Amino acid sequence: MIVAAAALVAAIAAAIARRAPEALVALAGAALLLAIGVLEPRDALDEAESLAPTLAVLASLLVLGDGCERAGLFDALAARMAVRARGSGPRLLAYVFAAAVAVTAVLGLDATVVLLTPAAFAAAAKARMPGRPHVYATSHLANSASLLLPISNLTNLLAFKATDLSFAGFAAKMALPTAVAVAIEWLVLRRVFRTALETPGRTPRTDLPPIPRRPLVILALTLAGFLAAGPLGLDAAWPAAAGALLMGPRLKAMDLPLIAFVLGLSLIVRALADAGLADVVADVLPQGTGLLALLGATFLAAALANVLNNVPALLVLLPAAAAAGPATVLAVLIGVNAGPNLTYTGSLATLIWRRVLRERGEDVSHREFHVLGALSVPPILIGATVALWLVT
């Protein structure tokens, strides 16, 4: 367990510090565990086979997001948000919220932080408004709005089969928790940034670029494919791959290092679980579908996400959560998706968001980030879990 834990810490540290390729560190850690016998080859192969469809969906979603960007969808979105805000900070924030929820739900949280954050920057600049409220919205909603669909977050993809729900069934269960999370984010951001949002802007005088229809049609067809896959007995990887092929895949867009990192991380966590962590988690994770049990699962997942990062936290918790039932799996997802807004290291998406800001010469203060997380995360964890309990 000590060796496996060290490999996990090294992989997460590489992802945070980016002083060494995180994919290489994760795969090297998994290879070491195989070499010394901590991870059995048969177990490693089983883990890779079970993860393959999830990685195929992830790669396809990255291709879809890349295709939307190349087609100019996010540039057109930024221009429209700036013009339709008509110089109003709250109105621009509402448009950013709507865009962030839609992009996160359909393309995943990575698309929100990588593609929509620059669009929010551009919209605020065009309207001559402070950008901080709007870029914070993309960061927070990338995590908290990623509860809605199985494709909205890598954690959802990893846990989807354990829920025993269809694509539509998952969305139905998580619609109310997502709505509660988004509403709380709106109230907190409006309150914290009320002064900045009151600063008057201007309406840009510019011709709006056309909205590209082809990527929107492909996204609609892909979503329809996800909805039909369950009743037809097909894995979600098939409609995802079909959508990616229609969009025109680029090898770079698939982000093979990210795929390799997730694979290596999964193998390390499998070794850690087999070494005894799975038994510890099973003893600690609350059982049952009562409100207190679900709240306990949510807060345990959030705590582990902020200590381990959300993907390894989900991988550690998933076997015990699956044994406890679908409601517990969904409560764990609330914790590992919304909980990471509390710290920089809780979610890979937040780390990417910070890098996007720095590439544009911007940064946020540690105090402001953590105050915003402290104000929003606890009520979201409670409110979303209560909403889940009401629909289970």
pLDDT per residue rounded down to tens, the chain (392 residues): 899 999 999 998 888 777 789 999 999 999 999 999 999 999 999 999 989 999 999 999 999 999 999 999 999 999 999 999 999 999 999 999 999 999 999 999 989 999 999 999 999 999 999 999 999 999 999 999 999 999 999 999 999 999 999 999 999 999 999 999 999 999 999 999 999 999 889 989 878 899 999 999 999 999 999 999 988 888 999 999 999 999 988 888 888 998 999 999 999 999 998 888 888 988 999 989 999 999 999 999 999 999 888 999 999 999 999 999 999 999 999 999 999 999 887 887 888 888 788 777 777 788 899 999 999 999 999 999 999 999 98
Return the DSSP state at 18. Answer: -
- CB contact at 8 A, 97 and 141: yes
What does the pLDDT read at residue 324?
A: 93
> Please, which residues have CB within 8 angstroms of residue 85's CB and are 6 or more apart in sequence?
91, 92, 95, 123, 127, 129, 201, 203
- CB contact at 8 A, 120 and 134: yes
Residues 355-388 have pLDDT tens digits of 788 777 777 788 899 999 999 999 999 999 999 9
Report the C-alpha gap between 318 and 335 in whole angstroms: 12
Residues 8-20 have pLDDT tens digits of 999 988 887 777 8
- CB contact at 8 A, 119 and 108: no
DSSP string, 158-211: HHHHHHT--HHHHHHHHHHHHHHHHHHHHHHHHHHTHHHHHS-------PPPPP
What are the φ/ψ torsions at residue 163 (nearest 5 degrees)? Answer: -80, -20
The helix, strand and coil proportions of the chain, stated in percent and rounded to the nearest 5, come to 80, 0, 20
Retrieve residue 390's tokens.
Answer: 């009401």
Query: How many Cβ atoms are within 10 Å of 354's Cβ, its own excluded?
Result: 17
H helix or E strand, kind and range, residue 347: none
How would you class 2 by CB atoms within 10 Å of its CB: exposed for 0-12, middle for 13-18, buried for 19 or more? exposed
Report the C-alpha gap between 287 and 283 in whole angstroms: 9
Query: How many Cβ atoms are within 10 Å of 18's Cβ, its own excluded?
Result: 11
Query: How many Cβ atoms are within 10 Å of 363's Cβ, its own excluded?
Result: 10
